[in-house]
Amino acid sequence: MAPSMNCGGRFSLLAGIIYRASGVTRSTGKLTKAGPEPSSFRVSYQGGGKREQRRIDFANGTVSDVFILPPRKKKNPRRSVPVTKEQLEDVLDPLTAAFLSVRSDDAQTLRVCHQTLPVFDGKQRFDLVLTPKRVEHVDKNAPALFYGPVAVCQVKFVPIGGYRPDHPGIKFMAQTDDIEVWLVPLPESTLYVTYRIVVPTPLGQGSATLTELEF
């Protein structure tokens, strides 16, 4: 029987000088030989004048149900790239995507950065292509369970479905090479967890930092 996975966290987000957002997220599932397999994902957040609750349920790695409150507006099919049924198979939710199987226990090699993550956030289907960038060290503000060197990966955002090709935000994210993620090893585990995400925006640099982690 595969071990169960139950993780949650609180996050804070500062996007340039425009807004600050915060929220709570939780994911449940199991750990298989192939890696994490989510069963449910929950997130609630508020900021920038918006508030939302989102839930994604999975069955054997495939999205089975999506619930968003307030309900999302229907997109014009002539302007948006649809999300197909096939694209929702063998995908990860955003939180589970933060947990990666480690190919080496030596963070200096940055091997954990050689990953392509298929992600569905309830609205959009996209790939996150990771490549090695540099090595940092855990700072004093990190949760106590984190230790050792930090593998910093460059992240390439590749939109797959559920987006408008002419959307300026999508264009910007797909073209930039300045997205990075900080991956920290968990003690007594073969997993890394995302400690920090840095995302450039047209109005300044945005960052999300993990402030709490539960198992």
Biggest alpha carbon–alpha carbon distance for the chain: 50
Domain that holds residue 131: 4-214
**What is the number of structural domains in the chain?**
1
| pLDDT of res. 14 | 45
Of the spans 103-117, 155-169, 177-191, 198-212, which averages the highest pLDDT? Answer: 155-169
| pLDDT of res. 15 | 44
Phi, psi of 39 (to 5 degrees): -115, -30
| pLDDT of res. 82 | 92
Element holding 213 (H helix, E strand): strand 204-214
Q: Binning pLDDT at 50, 70 and 90, where does residue 206 land?
A: confident
Q: β-pairing, 125-137 with 149-161?
A: antiparallel
Angle formed at CA 188 by CA 105 and CA 37, multiple of 5 degrees = 85
- The 10s digit of each residue's pLDDT in 2-61 is 555 666 555 554 444 444 556 677 788 887 777 788 889 888 877 667 788 889 999 988
Judge whether 23 and 46 are in contact, CB under 8 Å: yes
Q: Binning pLDDT at 50, 70 and 90, where does residue 154 land?
A: very high
| pLDDT of res. 203 | 67
Half-sphere exposure of 167 toward its Cβ, with a 13 Å CA cutoff? 16
Q: How far apart are CA 1 and CA 169, in angstroms?
A: 42
- Average pLDDT of the chain to the nearest whole number: 79
Q: Average pLDDT, stretch 193-209?
A: 77
- The 10s digit of each residue's pLDDT in 83-115 is 999 999 999 988 788 776 655 555 556 888 988
Look up residue 168 and give its DSSP letter. Answer: H
